[in-house]
């Protein structure tokens, strides 16, 4: 465990500037174009090339009065909760950069090659991008049965593809797209539930405040989860919003959703390249010393008949992945409990829970990793996981920044009130390094 300095700032802004030499070159090119046009007129040319330049053509860096870049995005309820405007979405989509072409639905086995744009994409995201409308359960089923193969081998839905690989795709079946005005009573309730969870929404992005106990994705015996709830938001083309990341079932807080294929590709890349910043709040047993530090270990999954957990592993162990977490004590309640802010640099399964247990300050109410013997929960506190995905900061696909914070869930708010912790205190994790 290492100590980090407060002097290191958490984010850096880069301002684009144009040098005097670049501006001089631009003026020289402009004069050359004007002279060339004058020579063309003297030679009696038709002038079609000059007419092809529209009156409103702009030099690089200029902006029409109607153009508005995305502003800094702040949390708060959106003014509406509806399907994205089709005209605006279709107008902006071509400018998003090269996208993988949508493939016709295969009625028989076919083999496709991974393009450069799809390099590094997860198998399940690859299928969703190629064949919009495929349900999560259908994708998981064909992967689980081994019907989808990469370079002739079975693949997991989380495996990442490489440019040039051959992907064998079995016959697929799209879910029937929803049409407006045909929601059942149950679906209308689900849509309202999503609306109530919404912290931020625009045409590309949705940020939900996931409640405690609601799973993000389905599992054995799971009938209700966020991915299934998003089915009610399918558009006329059969596309539904896509999960960009995941948080544990018993963890509440910010969950990022992409409403378009372009946004999904951009935001997934931002997580992969660690452009996203996530901050968590937790209540832990004892007070960590030093009060600010860096936890760096290897984690590997340990399976048992009853459950599976992430254990601290050694470099080189089978399945071991490097995991880094910064922590900072925000406020302590005597020596019994501490409110800790956490910033994961990597995104391993149960990383924060395993790391805090590793330094002997397990998160209160954690059924998997709380391992302190003869430790009594203070009176009035609920024995539930005290972990909140407090804040997410990530570049927006169209420009600007998404910066959204989630409130304390009811059981954590009760604990904060009982312990006299002030939720509006300065969060020292702001000063943690980026790596």
Active-site residue set:
248
Q: Is 42 helix (H, G, I), strand (E, B) or coil?
A: helix
| Kind and range of the H or E run holding 199 | strand 198-201
**Quick check: helix, strand or coil at residue 187?**
helix
231: nearest Cα among 279, 182, 167? 182
Q: Which residues pair with 325 in a beta bridge?
A: 295, 344
For tokens 């805090």, the residue is 356
Q: Indicate the burial class of 14 (C-beta count within 10 angstroms; 0-12, 13-18, 19 or more).
A: exposed
User: What's the CA gap between 38 and 32, in Å, rounded?
Assistant: 10
Dist. CA 260–CA 99, nearest whole Å:
12
* Matching residue, tokens 């295969």: 106
Element (H, E) at 244: none
Q: In angstroms, rounded to a whole number, what is the distance separating the alpha carbons of residues 136 and 145?
A: 14
Q: Determine the straight-line distance between the first and last CA of the chain, rounded to whole angstroms.
A: 14
**Which pair of structure tokens corresponds to residue 49?**
């090339």
Alpha-carbon span 369 to 355, nearest angstrom: 9
What are the b/e assignments for 136-147, b being 16+ CB within 10 Å? Answer: bebbeebbeeee
H or E segment and range at residue 57 = none
- Residues composing the chain: 435
* Rounded alpha-carbon distances, angstroms, from residue 39 to 6, 42, 45: 64, 5, 9
| CA distances, 4 to each of 13, 257, 356 (Å) | 21, 32, 17
What's the DSSP call for residue 291? S
Rounded to whole angstroms, the Cα distance separating 235 from 276 reads 27
Q: Which two tokens stand for residue 149?
A: 């193969």
């Amino acid at each position: 465990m290492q100590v980090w300095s407060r002097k290191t700032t958490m984010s850096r802004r880069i301002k684009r500037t144009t040098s005097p030499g670049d501006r001089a070159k631009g003026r020289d090119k402009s004069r050359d174009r004007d002279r060339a046009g004058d020579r063309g007129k003297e030679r009696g040319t038709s002038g079609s090339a000059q007419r092809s330049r529209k009156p409103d053509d702009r030099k690089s860096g200029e902006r029409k009065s109607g153009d508005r870049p995305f502003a800094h995005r702040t949390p708060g309820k959106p003014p509406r909760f509806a399907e994205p405007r089709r005209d605006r979405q279709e107008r902006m989509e071509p400018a998003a950069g090269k996208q993988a072409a949508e493939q016709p639905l295969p009625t028989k086995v076919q083999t496709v090659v991974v393009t450069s744009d799809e390099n590094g994409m997860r198998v399940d995201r690859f299928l969703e991008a190629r064949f919009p409308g495929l349900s999560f359960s259908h994708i998981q089923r064909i992967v689980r049965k081994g019907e989808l193969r990469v370079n002739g081998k079975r693949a997991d839905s989380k495996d990442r593809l490489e440019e040039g690989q051959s992907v064998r795709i079995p016959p697929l079946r799209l879910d029937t797209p929803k049409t407006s005005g045909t929601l059942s009573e149950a679906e209308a309730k689900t849509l309202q539930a999503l609306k109530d969870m919404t912290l931020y929404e625009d045409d590309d992005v949705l940020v939900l405040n996931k409640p405690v106990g609601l799973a993000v994705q389905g599992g054995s015996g799971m009938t209700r989860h966020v991915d299934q709830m998003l089915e009610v938001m399918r558009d006329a083309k059969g596309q539904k919003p896509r999960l960009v990341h995941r948080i544990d079932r018993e963890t509440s807080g910010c969950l990022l959703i992409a409403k378009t294929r372009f946004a999904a590709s951009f935001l997934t890349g931002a997580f992969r390249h660690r452009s996203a910043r996530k901050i968590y709040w937790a209540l832990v047993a004892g007070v960590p010393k030093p009060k600010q530090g860096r936890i760096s270990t290897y984690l590997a999954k340990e399976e048992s008949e009853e459950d599976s957990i992430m254990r601290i592993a050694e470099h080189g162990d089978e399945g071991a992945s490097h995991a880094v977490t910064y922590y900072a004590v925000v406020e302590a309640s005597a020596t019994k409990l501490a409110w800790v802010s956490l910033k994961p640099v990597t995104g391993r399964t149960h990383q924060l829970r395993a790391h805090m247990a590793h330094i002997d300050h397990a998160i209160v109410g954690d059924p998997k990793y709380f391992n302190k013997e003869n430790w009594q929960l203070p009176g009035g506190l609920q024995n539930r996981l005290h972990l909140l995905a407090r804040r997410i900061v990530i570049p927006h696909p169209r420009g600007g920044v998404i910066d959204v914070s989630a409130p304390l869930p009811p059981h954590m708010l009760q604990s904060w009130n009982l312990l006299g912790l002030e939720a509006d205190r300065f969060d020292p994790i702001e000063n943690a390094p980026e790596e």
